[in-house]
């Protein structure tokens, strides 16, 4: 008796694996981005961006997610990741963290309702936790579709990626990332995190306003500080050209922060 698959079955399995993908879904209350990357090479296979036209609420977001997922062939998706981008998050040092106080940490920065749940991302690079409110209805739906998936807050990924980019441990390291109507801003002094916030924006003027607001209000940051924007140029080319007129030291890091 031969142990293993027959040659034809092996060939069919190889073809299936060659098409296998990882689906990453980036969600905010303004838009959804879908990225299909090769499971083996991580190369981008396909992507799509859809926005909420009118109602910016979780119910409308879930309806749009359901509608758009039906347009994809999901049979070759081997892994799914959900990235949540909202303002309902806060950072807490591990030495101060108490798991019974998650909502208490959040209530100083966010408007919560009684049935809100919380999730936690560990950021080992800085020995802190990111506590946030997930989109619970979205999570339940994705469990029905995929069975299991990984999920994180966008700011957790942003902090990890930017921390690992720091090469000057005596400099101000200032990073911004515009995504789906939310502007994430992170500032380090050397490798010490000194500022983290998320702002709503709807136009390039909003992005400039919040960057200049941070420059004016964060200690040791000034007009001579280099500001790095992490974004695909083709997606934010107009915004980058506009910001370049007003920001002296603007560095463009042309990449998708989720890759």
**Diameter of the chain by CA atoms?**
76
Residue 178 is assigned to a structural domain of this protein:
yes
Regions of the chain where pLDDT drops below 70: 1-19, 55
Domain boundary among 84, 99, 132: 84
Residue 63 is assigned to a structural domain of this protein:
yes
Rounded CA gap, 141 and 146, in Å?
9
CATH code of the domain in which 75 resides = 3.30.420.40
104-111 long-range contacts, CB within 8 A, separation 24+: 105/131, 106/131, 106/132, 106/133
Domain boundary among 66, 84, 102: 84
Residue 179 is assigned to a structural domain of this protein:
yes
pLDDT value of position 19: 67
Q: In this predicted model, what pLDDT tens digit does every residue of 88-146 receive, in sequence order?
A: 999 999 999 999 999 999 988 788 777 889 999 999 999 999 999 999 999 999 999 99
Rounded CA gap, 11 and 181, in Å?
45
The residue among 195, 175, 197, 134 whose CA lies nearest residue 257 is 175
pLDDT value of position 108: 83
- Both 164 and 256 in one domain: the answer is yes
Residue 259 is assigned to a structural domain of this protein:
yes
Per the structure, the complete domain to which residue 231 belongs is given by: 157-259
Number of domains in the chain: 2
pLDDT value of position 94: 97
pLDDT value of position 257: 84
Task: Check if the beta carbon of residue 139 is closer than 8 Å to that of residue 153.
Answer: no
Q: What is the DSSP letter of 242?
A: H
Is pTM beyond 0.85? Reply is: yes
Burial 129-160 (b: 16+ CB within 10 A, else e): bbbbbbbeebeeebeeebeebebbbbbbbbbb
- 182 burial class (0-12, 13-18, 19+ CB within 10 angstroms)? buried
Residue 220 is assigned to a structural domain of this protein:
yes
Domain boundary among 25, 49, 84: 84
Residue 188 is assigned to a structural domain of this protein:
yes
First to last CA, the chain: 45
Sequence-separated (6 or more) residues with CB below 8 Å from residue 253: 165, 228, 229, 230, 231
């Amino acid at each position: 008796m031969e142990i293993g698959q027959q040659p034809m079955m092996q060939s069919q399995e190889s073809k299936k694996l060659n098409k296998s993908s990882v689906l990453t879904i980036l969600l905010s209350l303004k838009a959804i981005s879908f990225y299909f990357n090769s499971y083996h090479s991580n190369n981008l296979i396909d992507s799509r961006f859809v926005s909420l036209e009118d109602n910016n609420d979780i119910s409308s977001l879930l309806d749009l997610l359901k509608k758009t997922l039906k347009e994809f062939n999901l049979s070759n998706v081997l892994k799914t990741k959900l990235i949540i981008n909202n303002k309902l998050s806060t950072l807490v040092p591990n030495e101060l963290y108490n798991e019974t106080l998650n909502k208490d940490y959040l209530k100083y920065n966010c408007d919560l309702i009684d049935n809100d749940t919380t999730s936690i991302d560990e950021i080992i690079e800085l020995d802190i936790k990111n506590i946030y409110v997930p989109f619970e209805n979205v999570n339940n739906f994705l469990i029905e579709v995929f069975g299991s998936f990984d999920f994180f807050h966008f700011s957790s990924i942003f902090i990890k990626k930017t921390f690992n980019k720091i090469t000057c441990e005596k400099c101000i390291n200032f990073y911004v990332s515009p995504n789906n109507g939310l502007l994430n801003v992170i500032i380090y002094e050397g490798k010490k995190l000194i500022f983290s916030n998320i702002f709503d924006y709807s136009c390039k003027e909003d992005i400039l306003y919040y960057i200049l607001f941070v420059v004016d209000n964060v200690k040791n940051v000034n007009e001579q500080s280099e500001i790095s924007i992490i974004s695909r140029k083709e997606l934010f080319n107009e915004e980058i050209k506009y910001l370049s007129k007003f920001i002296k030291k603007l560095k463009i890091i042309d990449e998708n922060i989720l890759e």
